Chain A
């Protein structure tokens, strides 16, 4: 069966520091991968999605970037964090039929 991992689970970072969040999927090949952010008490906002290695589509202009160095690995990065980057970051995968399954998430607090 397929499993999706995210780490770290929680993170507290100062403003201006860099960020790297990792997502990996097991038990499947060539999945579609997605990054979403959920601000406290809010809905989910799509940040990036990828249909293959090196293929990244950005949905919202921001100081975040994404990369897909391997088929089942998706990384979310920032060079300098802002206070507004705080939130619950969720990675999701899809076998290509639209259905998406979420990872456990990373809770990021920027101080």
Chain B
């Protein structure tokens, strides 16, 4: 089965600086890679996702890059703000026209934005 490794487990950055979280996956059949943000006691919220037919995707201050050859993908947050403080999870799955397997998650990164 799929295995997703996520690093670092904790990341502390100064407000306004950039943050980068990295994940690797093991199954070359995986073709969908979402990122979720989870605030304490709440549900994970999808913030950005990427499919294997593209190498990069941006949404305002957030970007995700994918390297299929190396089997790794990264989340980039620029101009960090206090409200970016949360736990971030990467995940991977395989989907086809009929549906998708469940997501395999990394263990999460606790992002701390220092004022």
Contacts and interface: CB of A to CB of B under 8 A. Distances in A.
Contact of A101 (B32, B46, B91, B100): B46
B44 A98 contact: no
A32 interface: yes
A102 B44 CA distance: 7
A102 B95 contact: no
A49 B45 CA distance: 19
Contacts, number: 61
Contact of A43 (B32, B98, B99, B107): B107
Nearest to A4: B43
Interface residues of A, number: 23
Interface residues of B, number: 25
Contacts of B43: 90, 102-105
A60 to B, nearest CB: 10
A46 B106 contact: no
Interface in B94-108: 95, 98-108
Contacts of A94: 99-100
A90 B95 CA distance: 20
Interface in A36-61: 36, 42-46, 49, 51, 59
B108 A43 contact: yes
